[in-house]
Structures are given as structure tokens and as C-alpha cells.
Amino acid sequence: MARAMDQMLRYGWPGNVRELMNAVERAVVMSRSDYIQPNDLPLEVRNFPPENAVDPPLQIHAGVSLERMEKETILKTLASTSGNKSEAARRLGITRKTLREKLKNYGAQT
């Protein structure tokens, strides 16, 4: 059960609460024991992140403005969450409102 919970906590849940509810309902139906096992979870949850996935090292280039670095970091984080602004803001350690304002300033409203 702990491994299944770990997988569920690691997954980004781009569909938010509805996707989580569907995954839990499916796991309960598929489970052959009293506890949810990793194999009871949907494939996309079980395989997230891919076992061979490694975050690329942070590359900082001399002469790049902080604004540009911030923009790239925000856009990459947003892409990694499949556009889920709440999750991106959580990962960045900012509020969703701050994220929206920064995207608006960058002209990258998504």
C-alpha cells in the first residue's frame, strides 16, 4: 500500500480531483486484496515518472537576465505539469495568482 501511495503522491494529476477520483475508484475495483497495490493503479500513474527519468542539471549561462531565466523556468515547469497552473505554482513555490501575473507579463498566457 505504501508503494501505491508513493506513486499517487508523485503523479502530477493534470486532471486534478476528477482524475484522482477516477484513479482511486479504478484501483479499488481492480484490487484483489484489502489494500491498493501499484499494479491496481492506472498505467500513467504507475509509470510516472519513468524510472529512467532524470532531471537535467540546472544550466546557468553568464549574461542571461534573471527575467529570462525566470520565464524559462516557469514555462518549463508549466509544460512539465501539462499546463496545470496549480501544480506548476506549487512546484515553483509561488501562488497561482503570482503565476498568472507572471505569465501575463511574459505574454505567455496559456
Q: Is 22 within a domain?
A: yes
Domain assignment of residue 51, yes or no: no
Would 58 be classed as within a structural domain? Answer: no
In a domain, 54, yes or no: no
Look up the CATH number of the domain holding residue 86.
1.10.10.60
In a shared domain, residues 7 and 40: yes
Residues 6+ apart with CB under 8 A from 81: 12, 14, 87, 88, 91
Q: What is the pLDDT of residue 77?
A: 86
DSSP 52-74: T--PPPP---TT--HHHHHHHHH
* Whether residue 38 sits in one domain with residue 9: yes
pLDDT at res. 46: 81
Residue 52, pLDDT score: 52
pLDDT number for residue 6:
83
Q: List % helix, strand, coil for the chain (3-state, nearest 5).
A: 60, 0, 40
Count of the separate structural domains present in the chain? 2
Q: Which amino acid is at 9?
A: L
Chunk the chain into consecutive blocks of 10 residues (it has 110) and report each block's average pLDDT, rounded to whole numbers.
80 80 89 89 78 62 85 88 88 92 82
Q: What does the block give as the cell for 18?
A: 476528477
The whole domain housing 18 covers 2-46
55 domain residue, yes or no:
no
Cβ-based burial of 32 (10 A; exposed 0-12, middle 13-18, buried ≥19): exposed
